[in-house]
Amino acid sequence: MGKIWRVSGPIVIADGMRGSKIYEVVEVGEQALLGEIIGLEGERATIQVYEDTSGLRVGDEVLGSGKPLTAELGPGLIGSIYDGLQKALMTLKEGIGPFLKRGLKAKALDRNKKWHFVPRVKRGDPVKGGDIIGTVQETPLVEHRIIVPPNLRGVVEEVRGEGDYTVEERIAILEGGREIRMMHEWPVRRPRPYASRLDPSDLLVTGMRIMDYMFPMALGGKGAIPGGFGTGKTVALQQLARWAQTHVNIYIGCGERGNEMADVLKSFLELKEPRTGRPLMEKEIFIANTSNMPVVAREASVFLGITMAEYFRDMGYHVLLVADSTSRWAEAMREIGGRLEEMPGEEGFPAYLGSSLSSFYERSGRVKCLGDPERVGSVTVVGAVSPPGADFSEPVTQNTLRIVEALYALDVALANRRHFPAISWLSSYSLYADEVEEWWKENVGPEWKEMRNRALKILQEEAELQEIVRLIGPEALPEKDKLTLLIARMIREDFLMQSTYSVDTYCSPRKAHLMMKTIMAFYDKAQRLMEAGAQAKEIQGLPVVTRIARMKEIPNEVFEEEVEEIWTEMEEGLVRA
């Protein structure tokens, strides 16, 4: 036990802390505010306090817990809303109302709720870390697989039969009296182990055409969505968390506005999962660490989210984690670094900014899990970045770009033109295109890569032609170039633009491929028509152009039937022209 020697905002220096450890969790002051030791010098410990330090006095007691900041992992995580320290916010709301006070504690997992446990092992079976010893049907969408903690192994001496148990009740005993419960704890800053790392190979289906088709994200990949104010970062991440075809989604609101987080929670309560029609909350976890919450808890919220993601990965699930936004986390690091009088780096950010971002993003990946039965899981991480003034040369964006392998650059000019999602096709890229090519061949069609490359080439040609158009006007262009501009506009407006508030909010890969195939077929037929003497203006006025523009509003379920009619009309219309 020590005593406060100095207080500077969220930083507290305590004396008499000999024997303490770096990253040990402590309770500070009369209200037992949670903090974490981030520096030791002699008997003095530097503590970052995760709650408001107003009212703390020199001489107040500091009590060490002897363990690092940990996450509670077990049945009950799905559908929950936590703060950055994994306090169950709905439990606090039920206990004291919507206005939270400092120092309040709330267990992450309900200790009274009973879960129906079905064992998969029997007495005498040898088990090791990662083995599945039983299951709990946590929600209709997620079977919670109870795994042996990675640091345990031995022979099962006793296992409970099928029945209802709480997360704290013993469900198995290994030789030597070591007990296994349905829940266990794991330090949030320590990556969970796995058997081996695998290359990404499958597409993360997001329902957003510009991501799925043009700049694909692989399961187990890592990407960033940087953009200025008003370009749609939050909406893009919400779309990912809503429609991504993963088993579990984790949404971290890291330093974002409270009204945005409230809107996310409200909308998710009303949404259905596209594959099954079940409520979307049956596969979602939310971490709400809004901008009015203590700034240093932002770091904890990010590592808490990735630890929970790794836990479900270890069950053999594909998990998506979105963080909105890592810039707010970096700003918290800058504030703490200033109070610790650390040597500042570029724009005042700490010199270790890059390594801190890496410690988060590099915990993504597709892996072969520990234990039996053999299984593969993945964690896909997508983080938003909020560069001031949409300046992508600032340190957080630049350090993030060195780590991620997919960039979805939001463009202020596109947002101002009401083109959403405002992802720039000229600045964005994905290094996963080759990895997911086989997925497209097996699940959709062999022409995906050719279609994608043609579309990107046309958009690039349009950008080059726009320079000429600004100088001499579009009428002076050759007919071939006019057709290129028409097709590029069709790709931009009829394919890449996607409304969040219509039936087009989720587009299946099959539908996206048929849409692009239709546009390219129109292009090929129009080129042959122009060779026969037709003008670009005549082709642009064909009724089928309007039908192609409305393709996106056709529901996924009936798209293949209706697109055949468009192809028929396209054949007849272009022949008559």
Q: Specify the CATH number for the domain of residue 50.
A: 2.40.30.20
Question: What percent of the chain shows pLDDT beyond 90?
Answer: 77
Residues 479 and 513 both lie in one domain = yes
74 belongs to a structural domain: no
Distance CA 556, CA 278 (A): 18
Mean pLDDT, the chain, whole residue set: 93
Final residue before a domain boundary, out of 149, 182, 215: 182
DSSP H stretches of helix in 124-174: none
Q: How confident is the model over 168-185, as a mean pLDDT?
A: 94
Place of tokens 């993030």: 400
Q: Residue 410 domain-assigned? A: yes
| 425 and 454 belong to one structural domain | no
Lowest mean pLDDT among 94-98, 198-202, 216-220, 385-389: 94-98
Task: Give residue-wise pLDDT tens across range 9-62.
Answer: 899 999 999 999 999 999 999 999 999 999 999 999 999 999 888 889 999 999
Residues 245 and 394 in one domain: yes
| pLDDT greater at residue 155 or residue 98 | 155
Find, among 202, 205, 213, the residue nearest to 453 by Cα.
213
Whether 99 has a pLDDT exceeding 80, the answer reads no
Burial 63-94 (b: 16+ CB within 10 A, else e): ebeeebbbbbbbbbbbbbbbbbbbbbbebbee
In a domain, 79, yes or no: no
1 three-class SS: coil
Residue 325 lies in a domain: yes
Q: Are residues 524 and 452 in the same domain?
A: yes
For residue 576, pLDDT over 80 is answered with no
Domain count, the chain: 4
By the 10 Å C-beta count (0-12 exposed, 13-18 middle, 19+ buried), 215 is classed as buried
In a domain, 51, yes or no: yes
The alpha carbon dihedral of 299, 301, 306, 308 has a sign of positive
Do 559 and 455 belong to one domain? Answer: yes
Residue 91 lies in a domain: no
For residue 272, what are the CA distances in angstroms to 9, 409, 529, 553?
A: 43, 28, 45, 19
Kindly tell me if the per-residue pLDDT of 259 is higher than 90.
Answer: no
Residues 236 and 336 in one domain: yes
Quote the pLDDT of residue 263. 85
Asked if the structure places residue 53 within a domain, the reply is yes
Residues 227 and 345 in one domain: yes
Calpha distance 274→244 (Å, rounded): 9
User: Which CATH number belongs to the domain containing residue 335 in this structure?
Assistant: 3.40.50.300
Average confidence (pLDDT) over 512-531? 94
pLDDT score recorded for residue 272: 87
The CATH number linked to 176 is 2.40.50.100
Percent of the chain with pLDDT over 70: 99
CA dist., res. 27 & res. 248, Å (int) = 33
**422 and 462 both lie in a single domain:** no
What are residue 45's DSSP bridge partners? 14, 40
Boundary (domain end) residue, out of 373, 405, 431 = 431
pLDDT digits (tens, 9 = 90+) for 124-152: 999 999 999 999 999 999 999 999 999 89
> How large is the average pLDDT for residues 433-445?
96
Helix axes 559-576, 509-531, angle to 10 degrees: 0
Instruction: Please check whether residues 310 and 170 belong to one and the same domain.
Output: no
The answer to whether the CB of 273 falls within 8 A of the CB of 310 is: no
369 and 338, same structural domain? yes
Q: Is the domain of 407 the same as that of 545?
A: no
| The predicted structure's pLDDT at residue 575 | 60
Say if residue 269 is in the same domain as residue 351. yes
Say how far apart CA 255 and CA 488 lie, in whole Å: 38
Confidence (pLDDT) at 93: 83
pLDDT in tens, 321-336: 999 889 999 998 998 8
Residue 44: give the domain boundaries: 2-68
**CATH number of residue 524's parent domain:** 1.10.1140.10
Helices first, then strands: H and E counts in the chain: 16, 26
The answer, yes or no, to whether residue 106 has pLDDT greater than 90, is no
Rounded CA-CA distance 108/87 in Å is: 5
Amino acid, single-letter form, for residue 320: L
Q: What is the distance between the alpha carbons of residues 201 and 368, in angstroms, rounded to a whole number?
A: 13
For 487-507, write each residue's pLDDT tens digit. 999 999 999 999 988 899 999
- Mean pLDDT, residues 110-118 taken together: 96
Say if 257 falls within a structural domain.
yes
**pLDDT tens profile 412-431:** 999 999 999 999 999 999 99
